[in-house]
Structure formats: C-alpha cells, structure tokens
Amino acid sequence: MAKLRWRDALIGGAANAVDGIDGDDLLDSDLTFGLGAGIVYPYWLDDDGAGADSSPDRILPDTNPGTKVHLLASMQLKQLFLSNPNIEVLAAEKTIAVGDPQIQALDPGGLNRDVLLPAEASSVGLFFFIANTADAAEDLVVKEDSDTTTIVTISQNERGLVFCDGVTWYGFMGGKT
C-alpha cells in the first residue's frame, strides 16, 4: 500500500528531507510533500525511474536509491486553498464542498463520523488533506458524495489525502510522524 509522507526539506540527506527517506522504505506511487524555500512540492515515487538528481524536479533517495526517484507532480495551482485551513470539531456528518479549504483538521467530537466528498464530476484535479485531531479512538470515514463507497478511514492522529480524477476519488493515509 502506498504511503503519504511530509518532509520539511527537499534535499540534504537528513531524516526530515525528501532525499533522506531510505529507498528500502519506499514503494511505487508513494506520495511525499516536501517544503523548499516556503513552497510545498508534491512528489510521486517511481520505483523504476532512476536517472540523475535534479531538484526540485527529480529527487533520488540518498540511501539505497536503487532505481527509485521522487518525481515532482504537476498540479493545477488555481485550485489550491491551502492558506486557510478548516479546523473543526464535528457534531454530525461533515460534507465538504468544492470551494472548501483543502486542509481539513477535523475532530470527530466523541464518535466515529462520516466525511462526504464533493461529487466526482465537479472535482477534477481536486484534493483534500484531512487530519484526524481526535483526543480519543474515533475515526473519520471519508466517503464519496452518495455515502456508499469508503475512500479511506482515518483514525486518531492519522492523516489522509484524497484526490479526484473527475470519475473516482482515491486516497492515501499515514500516521503522524
């Protein structure tokens, strides 16, 4: 299963840098967000890409790289709403709309809660980063808009990323590191 990671630097080989992730711990399609010069860069891991380092476009692991390379993912910047995160304690099911902040820090408020995503047809290229900020063992069950298909279940202190191609929502999740 692909993993989602956050790193505070792009290069330098330290544990907090994209190139500091050991190649033996990386899987094809892992998603890593790295911070460089105040810019957040999204990277997809290609396990048969190799080639030379060329930050920020291509970043190889410093340890056990093999043929693995982090490739800068293209994004539609017009859809980013990262500067104004939604921080909320839920009292009921949460429905996220297309224009909502793309960072959602949600506390389920004492119970497991469903989080419904916008309709796929209106969400091409859209993504949401969702953090479960619960103070107890409570889950956020992230579903598509018809409330029938679970995309990811995000437990206490876990983070998830969901994104849409206009037909289907996809998701990754990872623990707090």
Structural domain spans, the chain: 4-74, 78-175
Asked if residue 151 lies in contact with residue 142, where contact means CB atoms within 8 angstroms, the answer is yes
pLDDT tens, residue by residue, 67-78 = 999 988 865 444
Per-residue pLDDT, averaged over 23-44, amounts to: 84
Q: Is the pLDDT of residue 41 over 80?
A: yes
Q: Is the pLDDT of residue 176 over 70?
A: no
Closest alpha carbon to 25 in 8, 1, 42: 1
- CATH code of the region 78-175: 2.60.120
- The pLDDT mean for the chain works out to 87
The DSSP result for 95-163, as a single string, is: E--TTS-SEEEEE-TTS-EEEEPPPGGG-TT-EEEEEE--SSS--EEEE-TTS--EEEEE-TTEEEEEE
Q: Is the pLDDT of residue 177 over 50?
A: no
pLDDT tens, residue by residue, 96-142 = 998 888 889 999 999 999 999 999 988 877 889 999 999 999 999 99
Predicted confidence at residue 42, as pLDDT, reads 87
Predicted confidence at residue 158, as pLDDT, reads 92
Predicted confidence at residue 79, as pLDDT, reads 44
